[in-house]
Each structure stands twice: as C-alpha cells, then as structure tokens.
Structure 1
Amino acid sequence: MSIPTRIAQKPKRALHRYRNFFLTFFVLLSLSVTIILTSYLSSLGKTVKRSKYTALTLDNVNSPVVKQIAINSPSANPTNASCNYFNCFNIYRCGNQGNKLLVYVYPLKNYVDPANVPVTNQISKEFYLILQAIAGSSFYTSDPFEACLFIPSIDTLNQNRLRVKEVSQALKSLEFWNDGENHLIFNMIPGSVPDYNTVIDIPVSKAMIAGAGFSSLTYRAGFDVSLPVYSPHLENYKRQAQNRRNWLIISSQININSAFQQDLIEVKITFPNDLMVLGPCYHHNPMNSSIRCAGEDVYNYPDVLETGTFCLVIRGARLGQSSLLEAMAAGCIPVVIADSLTMPFHGVIDWIRAAIFVREVDILKAPEILKNVSRKRVVELRQHGTWLYERYFKSIQAITETTLEIMSDRVYPHLARDYNYWNVPQYPGIVPSLFLPVTAPKTRGFTAVILTYDRLESLFILITKLVKAPSLSKVLVIWNNQRKDPPEPSQWPKINRPLKVIQTKANKLSNRFYPYDEIETEAMLSIDDDIVMLTADELEFGFEVWREFPDRIVGFPSRTHIWDNSSICWKYESEWTNHISMVLTGAAFHHKYWSYMYTTSMPGDIKEWVDDHMNCEDIAMNFLVANMSGKPPIKVTSRKKFKCPECTNTEMLSADLNHMIERSQCINRFSSVYGTMPLKSVEFRADPVLYKDVFPKKLKRFNDIGSL
C-alpha cells in the first residue's frame, strides 16, 4: 500500500471514531430525557389524578363546610358584554358521555372573610329547590372532571342579600372557576337601589347568567338564559275554574313607577267598569302580600286575578315582575307594558301565543286595544298561557329543568327540540303522529299493496299499469283466499319491479293494513285489485301530493258524511258534493305508520267488527287518521268513476241494497266508540298545475289525467 493511500485513510478512521462517540452520546441523552419525562409525567399524573367527589347532599344546608377567602379589590366590569356562546363557552368540556349535558354542583360551603364574617347568608328556599332539582335531574353528575356545566352553590338569587365584593371573591375561589368558563349563575332579583340594574351586579367574568328581568340591552342572546320572577304566592295556589271574569283589566302590582300609577288613575276614571286597580291594604296589614285592596274592599291574592280577563304586567322599579306568573296561574291573560323586557325563556317560547304586548306610551289606550281582541282570541290566549304555565313555570323545579333543557339544546344543536316541541300543546285527541320533514323524501318511492281474492285478470292488468309509475318501488300482493293458492311464479306478469305475494291465514279486510316487513318505503299505495283505470300520471301525481302531506290520506275516490235530522244520526254519502271527509283506501296513499296504528291501536272493537262484517275498513282508517292528526284527507284529480264497492256490479259486495245502509251504520258505530265525530270536512282538491290550461303537452308534467 502506498504512503499517500495510508495518509488518506487516517482521517476516515478518526471520523468513524467520532461518529460512534456522538451516536453513543445521543442514545444516552435520549434515554436520560425519557427517564426524566416519564418520572415527571408520573408525578404530574399523581397531582391531577381525579379525587373522589361525593354527590351533592342537601341534608347539611344549615351547617355547611366553612371556607375562608381573601378579599381583594373587585373587578371593574360586572359582566362581559362581549361574551357569547362561541368565545366564552368551552364546548370541549362536553360530550364525555355522548350527547348528554352533564352538570356539576359545587359542594355547599359557608364562605367567611379574614375577619371570620360570613360572606354569604343562609341559602333561600328557592335556591335550595334549584339545587335539589339539578341534583335530582338526569343532567346531574358528581364528577366535575366529566361535567360540561358548573353550578356554584352560592345563593345569588337576590341581589339585595349579597355582599358584592365578597361574593365575587368566593366565586373566584371555586376549584374549577377558570375565569367563569362554563359556569351558570342563577339570579331572579337583579340590581339594587338606586339604579336597579337589569343584570346581577357581580363580576362573573365568562360565566353565563340564568336571570330574571333582563332588558334587551343586557341580555346576551344565545348565551344567557332569561328566567321568570318566581312568586311565593304560587306554592299552594290552586285555580278555581268557577270564578266569573267580571273585570276586563286588573292591575295588581305594588310600588310601580309613579308615572304609570298616574296613568292607571286616568284610565280608571275613563273606564271605571273595565279596570280594577289593586294596591296594599293600608287599613288592614300593609305588609301582608297575600291580600290586595281596592278602596275598602279586601281580596285574597292571587285569587282575585281569576275575576279578570286581562292582567297588567307593568315595568316597576325592576323590569321583571312576579305578576307575570301570577296572572298566568290564574288564567288571566298577561298584558306586558315593559318595552325592553326580555321575556322568560326568550328564543324558545313564542309569547305572542299567550300574552299581549302594549307599548309604554300606549298605556292609556290599553282598554281600547283589549276590547278589540276577539272572544276566540281570548280563549286561545288563556288556554295557551295556562299550558305554558303548567309545563314551564308552575314550580322552581319546572323552571330549573327547562333551563337545563335549553342549555342542552345549545350544546348539542343537532338534537335540539324544534318550535313545535316548545310551543305546541299536545291536547287529548290530537296527538302528533308523524315526526317527518314537511316534505317526505322522493328517493325511495312507494310500495303498492294490492288486496285480492281470486280476480286474476284484473289483478294482472293492474300490476302491469302500476309498474309504469316511475316512483313505484315494489308490488306487494295480499292473497286473501285460503281455499285457493296463488298462481305459480311463471304465470305472473314479467315486470321490472320486485313483486312479493303474501298468503294470509284468514280472509280479513284488515289484512290490507297489516304492517308487513316487506314494506320498506314510508309511502304505501293501498289499492283494490279491480282499480284498473288509473293512469301512470295519476299515480305519480298522487304520490307527489302525498309527499307534501305525509300525515294524511291522499287518494282518488272521495266520500263524505252528513247529519240526517230525520233519523238523528250520521249518514254515509257517495254523491258528488263540494266537500269531502273521507278518501277511500281502495286507491289511496298513506304512511305505513297508519297501518301499524290500525293493527295495534284501533280504539274499541272497531277492527274486529270490520273483519266480522267484511265492510268499512276504509272508513275505519279515515276515522283513525282524522282522530290522531286532526286533519282531513286530500282528494287528487277530478276522476270520480271507479270500480269500487258502491258500483253496480253483480260480482261485488255492493250488489246488496243494504250495503249503503251498513256503511252509514259504520259511521255511527265508530263515532260512538270514539265519543266524538273525528272526521274533518274540507272543500279542496289537488290537480296538477297547467292541467286544464291550453299549453303544449311538452310544458305539462302530467298529461294523462283522467276525466270524470
């Protein structure tokens, strides 16, 4: 080996040694760092390890744990006006147990300052009931680490009972306060003399406020929750339904603004027989709030409100007034005269359906405005106001649970309840039957359910016509003949849609409404085996109309019912009239839900009676749908001539002259079972747009619509 070569290799060996050294060094360094980090994280894990938090108990309310807090200078900004759900609420705290809002309530403590002076008074009965309602609700969790929402156990309901600076420090000392993030503060009496602010005067940082008496200037929409001012008069109050409403208007508030007091005196002079003004009973016991006086007359309160049609809810020293709930409890329609008031549960409850709003400048016109309210409107307002009170406001528990439901809807908007849930009463007899979009989807089409016995010729003709409808998804033949088997598969028409034959165990008309598993679409076309005159356009148009009204029967042959004074009973009528109340299911679309209800929930013995008499299953279905939906059926197209049970055909049941009489007997029997007449009449028929217009056929979608 030459000398130059050996000299050239020495640096390479040195570089190799250095490389091994650095490699060893970095390996050792990595191991050291790993060991250190592991040790640190282990100790950190021990530090943040969840401790066992016991569930909130309210047995020790009178002797809670004492906690001392330091008193510093208060925050300058009581509430952060810029806070909203998107910048002051941490959604990532939520969802620890799926789509469920979890609420944690801090343990009860009695806070004292450095001088051992209590910071908070003993909690009020109302706040105790709020904590009790939360602890007993499905939202409650005793583990703060899985909670989405935090409720301080510091009673902040009444601003007058609070030491603002000290309570602020008590809130900041809460273990999970974190500048108020995801905390909810309850308050019903905000502000204090002389300003009477419409929001609690306590620095709450990013916390939300569930408060009463918000104005439109202080309420942070979508972040705060507007509450009612609860009245202690309502705890044991029971409304007397027999009281007559002799007064048009009652004003029962105490200590209202002097300007409004003067206006009321002027209104009383102008309308002495319409307005009753109640005030404190100075000649009895002015401190007794359970009585009110009008002159020398003494009245029990709030019972006296039952004698008025309308009750005034006027802006007082504070914007929120307990008279709102007192009026609703007594069935007296609230007349709100407070321009900037944010109504309870704003954004959820539609108050236009339960109260009347009068501008403050129009208070002198209030009697004239209220006299123009129709009697029907008065009944609707009173009924809806009573329903709102019973559902949302009749107790502290109801108010608290509603508050939590609103918070849950905000956190999980994809599961939020809609307008109907919050504002539409579920009166007996009109139960919402379908939870569908306004327009049913078209993609899956409809299933044709054909009830047949052995008329093969007309059955096969019908099947070949049905498949021409573009939206037909499947044909289901209900073979009702137990003495004869259906034809072999090779004998059936060759069609481009699935066809299934179901052979029943008994010859019953109700078999057409059985909820068969084979019906995979929401829409069903119930059709008789001899209705062979309908065109593909008529069937497709009927399906399109049903999509717009998925909770009704939509079809072709229509009938009506009339009251016969001579026989003093209902009469079935098949004559052509300007109104209808039934669409026969011999050719009609309906939701498969109705088949389930017909089979499982038909009132009385109607279903058995239909099967025994082999008649009136279509009338029974119309009764069922009308009773549950409160809506009439819809007839489509002008076609009125059908091969149907009333047609003069010697091969049909209707050949018997007693058939029409029996149909009338069905109506009377069914109405007796229901205890009412649920059928709804309507003067309406659906026809395609441009149906009779003189336009080229290429501009019309449904050209092949049959005539009379």
Structure 2
Amino acid sequence: MFHPYGGHVYVSHIIKVLKLIYLIVSTQININPHLDNELLEINHLFPNELLILQSCSHFNMTDTFFRCTNRRSFKYPEILQTATFCLVVRGEKLGLSVLLESLATCCIPVIIFDSLVMPFDEVIDWSRAAVFIREIDIQLSVEILKKYSLQRIKELQNHGSWLYNKYFQSIQLITETTLDIITDRIFPSSAKNYYFWNEPRILEIISPVFVPVTIPKNDGFTAVILTYDRIDLLFLLIHRLSKVPSLNKVLIVWNNEKKKPPQISKWPKIYKRIKIIQTKKNILSNRFYPFDEIETEAVLSIDDDIIMLTEDEIEFAFEVWREFPDRIVGFPSRTHTWDNKTACWKYESEWTNRISMVLTGAAFYHKYWNYIYTTKLPEVIKEWVDKHMNCEDIAMNFLISNITRKAPIKVSAKKKFRCPECVNTEMLSADLTHMVERTQCINQFIKIFGYMPLISVEFRADPVLFKDNFPDKLKRFNNIGSL
C-alpha cells in the first residue's frame, strides 16, 4: 500500500487553484489492454481534457520520476498537481500507489476498477474523497467528470488530502491505522464510530483519561462559579450547593478586576472548602481556565444566578456524568437548526425534544476540557467570545463534540432557568441582541472549524422511578423538580 514517491511529493496549493491545466490525467503503467484502448479512444475525442502518460522507455529514460507522451516528458508525480482528476484503472498491478500519489497531490482519484478493494474500506468512506465509475461506463468518464461543480471538487480535494495526511502519509501511520482497525475488531463494544474515522476535526486530540469505566465517586466535584458582583445571589447559591453530598470544593472566579471580593468573614459558613480567585480581566474565558485549585476530575460549571436547582437534581446530574465523563452533562439545553431563508445555522432556545448543546451555566464536565479550551482552542474563537461577552458555552460544546463526536446529555425535565430574584436587566441572556449574537457565534465558529461539529440527540436522563407512583422512601432522588 505504501508508495515510493511519498518523500518526493510537494503539494503547491497555488498551482491547484490557479494553474490547473488538465481535467484528467492517466499516469498508470501496465493498464489492462482493453481499458487502455478505451482510454486512447477517449483521448482522441477529448484531446484537451485527457492526458495519457506512460513510461519513458522510448526516450531511453528509465527514471521512475518521469512520465512521457510520444512527444515530451513530465516530472512525476509533480504532473499530478496540474490535473483535477487522476485515473486509477484496472491493470496488472492493483494501482494503489497511483491512488495514494493522487491523494498526496490533491488530485481527485477516479476509480475505474470494479473489483478494487479500497484501503481500509471498512472504516473509510471513500465516496467523500474519490469518484467511482464502472468499467462499462469508461467512455462516459469525461462527460461525468465535467458535471462536477467547483464546490464539490474542492470538497473532494480537501477530504482526500485530509485522508492522506491522517492515514497514509507514512509507514508509521499505515501501521497505526491497521492496528486500530484490528483493535476495533477484537473489542467491538468500544470500536470507534464513523465520525472518528471520517470527520476532519480541527483538534486531533484523544484524551488519555477517558476509559470505559465509571469515574469513582469518592473525590466528588468542584463547583466553579463565575461571578462579578451579585453578592446576595452568590451567597445563596453557595448555601444551596453546600447541601449537595458530593460537593468537594467551591471555587469562586471573581471576574471583577476593579472591585475586591467581600472579606472572608462575610462569606457563608459551610462545611466545604471555598477558594476565591480574582481575575485580572473581565472575560468569559476565565470560566474555563484550568486552575490548579480544581483537584477533582468533575467540574460543575454554574452561574451565580442558577439558584433554582435542588440538591437532588445536582447530585443526580453528577451521577450521570460519572457514567459519561467525556460529555457535557447538565440542565439548560439548546439546539441548532438550519434556516432555509438565510441559508445559515440558527441558535434555537425553543423547547423541543431534540438537543445539541447543554449550556455551561449549569453543567458537569471533565476538568480536562478546561485545559483543551485554554491551550488548544483557536485563539480567534476565544477572542470572539471575550470581545462579545457571549458564546463561551457554545464554544465549549463545539470543542467537546468536535473531539468526542458525541452529543451532550440533558438531565431531568427542568427547562425554566430564569432567576426569580434577578432584575431582568442584570441578566446577560435578557439582552435583546443576545439571541442574534448567539446565532452569529454558531456560524462564525462553523467557519473556523470547517464544518458543523454539534450532534443532535433525542435523549434525557431521569432517575429510576422518576414518574412512577411509588413512596418517596423507595426513591433515591425525591426532589427532582418539574418543568
């Protein structure tokens, strides 16, 4: 499967964009005689669209880094960069080297080989990187390929280039991919899904901490509260959190650089640790900073106005997160929809059965994601979030779904999260421009990620016996609120 020209391929994307000379190039040697004759007939009918190259023996050239016509020679594989499509035809050899050389040079492979088994075909979706034409339809190949739009050509080129860099660029990558597939066969219950193998992800990160076991309960969780100066609400929230059995510590991220937090003597007296960190700048990204003070694996990210959750609801959400530690698990959910009128994605807060985001105003996640958000998320996204003082929760949902290819999990039926003690003007989400900006965020982030990473799901986690008519003493979580 490995091809001998890998170290000699230099892809000039400027050439691919500005200097495409040929629609189709055939550089394969020892093609099946019948198909070779068919190609010669096509070349006679479409001399400007199809370039057929062979070995250079008639020029007394044995260098494999050249291909020739009857009249001139071309450097190989550089010539592939001047074509949109490269033929992979049935011949005496399998032709896999031509396939990989095409991918390496951003030339779209055209497979005219009915019996060819594509490399790693059990996991790779080759329809996203190559064109398949039946041998019986070879005479129609030029007409078929001319119908491809520039947008579709770009998609095929980009995905083919990604596949090559991901799986075929070196012997090491090919070996690792082979071993990954064998591992999935041996352990099908933990096999990687379609998205893992076929979705280009802006962050190619696999967390070392997520193994298929339940996270221990003993450590509990750290409640991280981002606050500015709503002291009364903050103290009320701390009191309520202190009643949650699994709470380990409360970490206050005091996001007001101009005003010091209250004196220690004024803080609530609870039997759990409270740590206060005053930030140097009022930015939303401070919520996801990987503070050393976060000693537990579980983080409960919660806004200072989320005082409507019961201790049973929070404890149950923590139990659910322990089963799914690589996901966001929480309460306020949102979804994204496609707007045909604007041809853009839209942020949707209406109550539906489908969700694709769980907002980090009240959600559990692994502290590992704070590290990834701070160190790996593109700076342009964090700059957008901090400039608009909005969408940090959307960015975190994009980040986690992009890496895990899994949807978040909503807990309980509760859907109303308005703070009854708050004045509407105090709430960021009450701003009339808030929803418009969040739609803008989604579409801006999609441009940066290169695709829509959010995954929709119709799923909600509720306690056992949640709606059953049983005595409360038989239920572990009694105080699970209504809508």
| Pairwise TM-score range, normalised by the shorter structure | 0.5 to 0.7
Q: Counterpart of 1:659 in structure 2: which amino acid?
A: D
Alignment partner of 1:246 is 2:23: yes
C-alpha distance after superposition, 1:366-414 (max 9, x if no partner):
78999799989976664344345456766xxx55x668989999xxxxx
1:332–1:306 distance in 2 versus 1, CA, 3 Å: farther
Q: Distance in 2 between matches of 1:529 and 1:386?
A: 46
Aligned residue in 1 for 2:108: 332
Alignment partner of 1:622 is 2:398: no
Aligned residue in 1 for 2:87: 311
Superposed displacement of residue 543, structure 1: 3.6
Q: Counterpart of 1:432 in structure 2: which amino acid?
A: I
C-alpha distance after superposition, 1:80-112 (max 9, x if no partner):
xxxxxxxxxxxxxxxxxxxxxxxxxxxxxxxxx
1:547–1:660 distance in 2 versus 1, CA, 3 Å: farther
Contact 1:466/1:536 (8 A) holds in 2: yes
Q: Counterpart of 2:37 in structure 1: which amino acid?
A: I
1:605–1:263 distance in 2 versus 1, CA, 3 Å: closer
Q: Counterpart of 1:620 in structure 2: which amino acid?
A: E
Alignment partner of 1:653 is 2:431: no
Superposed displacement of residue 500, structure 1: 0.9
Structure whose CA Rg is larger: 1
C-alpha distance after superposition, 1:665-706 (max 9, x if no partner):
587589879975888665535313798998665999877543
Q: Distance in 2 between matches of 1:665 and 1:562?
A: 15
Contact 1:582/1:679 (8 A) holds in 2: no
Q: Counterpart of 1:554 in structure 2: which amino acid?
A: V
Alignment partner of 1:443 is 2:221: no
Q: Distance in 1 between matches of 2:159 and 2:338?
A: 32
How many percent of aligned residue pairs carry the same amino acid?
32
Aligned residue in 2 for 1:323: 98
Q: Distance in 2 between matches of 1:252 and 1:430?
A: 35
Gaps of 5+ in 1: 1-226, 410-417
Contact 1:531/1:587 (8 A) holds in 2: yes
Contact 2:320/2:461 (8 A) holds in 1: no
Correspondence 1:550-561 to 2 at 5 A: 550-559=325-334
Aligned residue in 2 for 1:520: 295
Aligned residue in 1 for 2:185: none
Superposed displacement of residue 556, structure 1: 1.4
Q: Distance in 2 between matches of 1:557 and 1:533?
A: 12
Correspondence 1:158-557 to 2 at 5 A: 228-231=2-5, 234=8, 240-242=15-17, 243=20, 246-247=23-24, 251-256=26-31, 260-265=32-37, 278=52, 280=54, 285=59, 287=61, 290-293=66-69, 300=74, 302=77, 303=79, 306-307=82-83, 309-316=85-92, 322-330=97-105, 331-333=107-109, 335=111, 337=113, 363-364=135-136, 382-390=157-165, 398-399=170-171, 429-432=202-205, 434-437=207-210, 439=212, 441-444=214-217, 445-451=220-226, 453-455=231-233, 458-459=236-237, 461-467=239-245, 472-478=246-252, 480=254, 482=260, 484-487=262-265, 492-493=269-270, 499-505=272-278, 512-536=287-311, 538-543=313-318, 545-547=320-322, 550-557=325-332
Q: Distance in 2 between matches of 1:327 and 1:520?
A: 49
1:487–1:426 distance in 2 versus 1, CA, 3 Å: farther
Q: Distance in 2 between matches of 1:245 and 1:701?
A: 70
Contact 1:581/1:679 (8 A) holds in 2: no
Q: Secondary structure at the match of 1:246?
A: strand
Correspondence 1:585-600 to 2 at 5 A: 585-597=360-372
Q: Distance in 2 between matches of 1:350 and 1:273?
A: 33
Q: Distance in 2 between matches of 1:352 and 1:564?
A: 30
Q: Counterpart of 1:332 in structure 2: which amino acid?
A: I
Q: 1:687 aligns with which of 460, 480, 483?
A: 460
Contact 1:245/1:307 (8 A) holds in 2: yes
Q: Counterpart of 2:23 in structure 1: which amino acid?
A: N
1:483–1:627 distance in 2 versus 1, CA, 3 Å: closer
Provide the alpha-carbon RMSD of the alignment.
Answer: 6.0
Superposed displacement of residue 540, structure 1: 4.6
Superposed displacement of residue 620, structure 1: 1.9
Superposed displacement of residue 524, structure 1: 0.8
Q: Distance in 1 between matches of 2:122 and 2:98?
A: 21
Q: Counterpart of 1:441 in structure 2: which amino acid?
A: T
Q: Distance in 2 between matches of 1:690 and 1:279?
A: 67
Q: Secondary structure at the match of 1:595?
A: helix
1:263–1:567 distance in 2 versus 1, CA, 3 Å: closer
1:547–1:278 distance in 2 versus 1, CA, 3 Å: farther
Q: Secondary structure at the match of 2:433?
A: helix
Q: Counterpart of 2:216 in structure 1: which amino acid?
A: T
Q: Distance in 2 between matches of 1:653 and 1:233?
A: 60
C-alpha distance after superposition, 1:246-303 (max 9, x if no partner):
34xx5433334xxx3124435876997799583548997475773444xx78674552
1:690–1:305 distance in 2 versus 1, CA, 3 Å: same
1:255–1:347 distance in 2 versus 1, CA, 3 Å: closer
1:502–1:690 distance in 2 versus 1, CA, 3 Å: closer
What TM-score do you get using the length of structure 1 for normalisation? 0.47
Q: Distance in 2 between matches of 1:365 and 1:338?
A: 11
Q: Distance in 1 between matches of 2:262 and 2:344?
A: 41
Superposed displacement of residue 332, structure 1: 3.0
Q: Distance in 2 between matches of 1:276 and 1:608?
A: 47
C-alpha distance after superposition, 1:573-621 (max 9, x if no partner):
65546766653322111221333455567736957985x99x54xx224
